[in-house]
Amino acid sequence: MRDGMFVFDNVVHMYDNKASNIGPRGEQVARNLHGFGVALSNEQYPANDHFLGEELSVEEAGRILFEESETDMAMAQTVPLFGWWKDGFSPARRQYALKEAFPDRVLFCGGVDPLFQGVEGACNEMTRQAEEWGSVSFKFYQAHDNSLSWRIDDRQIAYPMWERALELGITNVQFHKGVPFGTERMEHMHPTDIQQAAIDFPELTFVIHHLGDPYIDESISVAARNPNVWLALSAWINIYPIMPREALKRLGKALMNVGPDRLVWGSEAFVWPNVQGYIDLFATMEMPENLQEDYGYPQITRDTKRKIFGENYARLMGIDVGQKLKTIHGSDERTP
Amino acid sequence: MTANGDLQQRVDAAIREHIARFLDSHGGAVASAAVTSDGDVTLQFDGACRACPAVAATFFSKVAPIVRAVPGVRSVHAPNVNVSEAAVTRILALSAPVRRTPER
């Protein structure tokens, strides 16, 4: 809890960069990812210093999230990038391990890829992850090396997975958009392929991560026009220490056009381990007067922070926040 | 018909009479989504208005004054209108009637 606000981190990654998990050209891409973290770091908000060549332990993840930060709940998200990593950057089994260690506080988000596993194989693995490991959402990465990619609105490749998700009772699917790690083609990371799928599957919510950076305007436009498209602020708060003005403009544009009800908090732990530092930043963030004046962006009110910090994603996941807080802390001490 | 329902009907009637055709002319729409017993009205923009960059201008300069003029309405807001007070002030200044001075 932060100042009486429920904190639900939509995305943390239990990474595995051990040599045994690195695939062809994967070492360079892992270094690229670490370099991205370093570029957006400073002394107070450092990049992870034991990222390369290692996997994160459940104990360290639990300490960072639940002992050293005010995070109440987190979703451990699989990263099914099977080209550069043999079992993906953040394997499903490691995300499940975190959920098993903290069953009241961590949700498991599975992940599959129809190009590497085949459409039927991906669907079958979705079923296994849901039935055996309790997956409540799925994460997808569409752009791979050598121009390999698939589209969210592909009726042969993608729609069977959306149908399977709904059959499993899973109502939200999530997408890495923008933010390339290596030599993926940028057009394969564009968010506009969500539009037709969002129309065809109105009972499924599609979550765009990273505001689709650099396709921020497009991501916001897609979300603004489609009520079942949400935006995850993952890797957004992480740019704030280096580019505060840019971060505020991105948030302001999302708030103005999408509103505060479909934005969710994501720390991107454990690329950057100072989870509490980012919570502090957002809890005290204000929209500068000149951005309100010049761009018309709304103030970041307490109500907005409360929704983004956790109540929005809890609503999407069907979690009774009061009951959950009583289970975790013994009492519900939220304040308006 | 409850008091709320009656007020909601009058709000929607005012929208139909004064603004609906203007919005419909370019694919937009607005209607009341909820009205409380205290007269607090929540509007829902739809169609082209749902994500229009100019929805705040439409709301504050055209729609809100019409709805506020309905007897019994205390406040009016729309969830997809999220702009700063500075922007509201500017919209209202731009949309205020211009007082023409007679030519000499």
Q: What is the CATH number of domain A8-329?
A: 3.20.20.140
CB A292 within 8 A of CB B86: yes
CB contact under 8 A, B84 and A221: no
Looking at residue B43, its amino acid is L
Nearest to A296 among B51, B79, B87 (CB): B87
CA atoms within 13 A on the CB side of A80: 22
Q: Does A255 sit within 8 Å of B82, measured CB to CB?
A: yes
Strand B28-35 versus strand A263-264 pairing type: unpaired
Render the burial of B4-23: b for 16+ CB within 10 Å, e for the rest. eeebbebbbebbeeebbeeb
Cα A261 from chain centre: 16
Inter-chain residue contact A292 with B84, CB threshold 8 Å: yes
CA–CA min distance A33, chain B (Å) = 34
Residue B76 CA to residue B68 CA, distance in Å, equals 7
pLDDT at site A24: 83
B27 touches chain A (CB under 8 A): no
A-chain residue closest to B55, CA distance: A257
Q: Provide the token pair at A172.
A: 């939200």
Report whether pLDDT(B1) > 70. no
Q: If 0-12 CB within 10 Å is exposed, 13-18 middle and 19+ buried, where does residue A186 land?
A: exposed
- The answer to whether the Cβ–Cβ distance between B87 and A221 falls below 8 Å is no
Nearest to B84 among A221, A257, A298 (CB): A298
Largest CA distance in chain B: 57
d(CA A331, CA A158): 42
CA distance A194 to A210: 15
Query: pLDDT at residue B104 above 80?
Result: no
Residues of chain B with C-beta less than 8 angstroms from the C-beta of A292:
84-87
Q: Which residue has the tokens 């009656």?
A: B6
pLDDT reported for residue A94: 98
Alpha-carbon Rg for chain A, nearest whole angstrom, is: 19
What are the residue boundaries of the structural domains of chain B, listed by start? 3-95
Are the Cβ atoms of B79 and A259 closer than 8 angstroms? yes
- pLDDT at res. A153: 98
Is A298 close to B80, i.e. CB distance below 8 A?
Answer: no
* Element of type H or E holding B30: strand B28-35
Q: How many residues does chain B have?
A: 104
Q: Does the domain made of B3-95 have the CATH classification 3.30.300.130?
A: yes
Residue type, A255: L
**Three-state secondary structure of chain A:** CECCECCEEEEECCCECCHHHECCCHHHHHHHHHHHHHHCCCCCCCCCCCCCCCECCHHHHHHHHHHCCCCCEEEEECECCCCCECCCCECHHHHHHHHHHCCCCEEEEEECCHHHHCHHHHHHHHHHHHHHHCCCEEEECCECHHHCECCCCCCCCCHHHHHHHHHCCCCEEEECCCCCCCCCCHHHHCHHHHHHHHHHCCCCEEEEEHHHCCCHHHHHHHHHHCCCEEEECCCCHHHCCCCHHHHHHHHHHHHHHCCHHHEECCCCECCCCCHHHHHHHHHCCCCCHHHHHHHCCCCCCHHHHHHHHHHHHHHHHCCCHHHHHHHHHCCCCCCC
Chain B contact set for A297 (CB, 8 A): 83-84
pLDDT < 70: residue spans in chain A: none
Question: How much is the ipTM here?
Answer: 0.80
Contacts of A260 in chain B (CB under 8 A): 82
Contact between B84 and A299 using a beta-carbon 8 Å cutoff:
yes
What is chain A's mean pLDDT, rounded? 97
Q: CA A32: distance to chain centroid?
A: 19
- The nearest alpha carbon in chain A to B86 belongs to A293
Give the nearest partner residue to B51 out of A221, A255, A298, using CB atoms.
A221
Instruction: Answer whether B53 touches A (CB < 8 Å).
Output: yes
Interface of A with B (CB under 8 A): 221, 224-225, 255-257, 259-261, 287, 289, 292-293, 296-299
pLDDT at A327: 98
* Contact yes or no for A200/A245 (Cβ under 8 A): no
From the list A225, A260, A289, the residue facing B51 with the nearest CB is A225
Measured CA to CA, the distance from residue A181 to residue A26 in angstroms comes to: 10
Which residues of chain A does B80 touch, with a Cβ-Cβ cutoff of 8 Å? 224, 259
- Name the closest residue on chain B to residue A252, using Cα atoms: B83
Q: Which of B50, B79, B82 sits opposite A256 (nearest CB)?
A: B82
Please tell me the least confidently modeled range out of A141-145, B51-55, B87-91.
B51-55
Instruction: Give the pLDDT confidence of B15-32 residue by residue, as tens digits.
Output: 999 999 999 999 999 999
Judged against a pLDDT cut of 90, whether residue B4 lies above it is answered with: no
Q: Peptide bond preceding A309: is omega within 30 degrees of 0, i.e. cis?
A: no
Strand B28-35 and strand B40-47: the pairing is antiparallel
Task: Measure the CA–CA gap between A82 and A95, rounded to whole angstroms.
Answer: 16
Q: Nearest by CB to B51, from A257, A298, A299: name it.
A: A257
B7–A contact, CB cutoff 8 A: no
For residue range A80-99, list pLDDT tens digits in order. 999 999 999 999 999 999 99
Q: What is the reported pLDDT for B95?
A: 86
Sort out which chain A residues have CB atoms less than 8 A from B51's CB and list them: 221, 224-225, 257
Distance (Å, rounded) from C-alpha A279 to C-alpha B61?
38
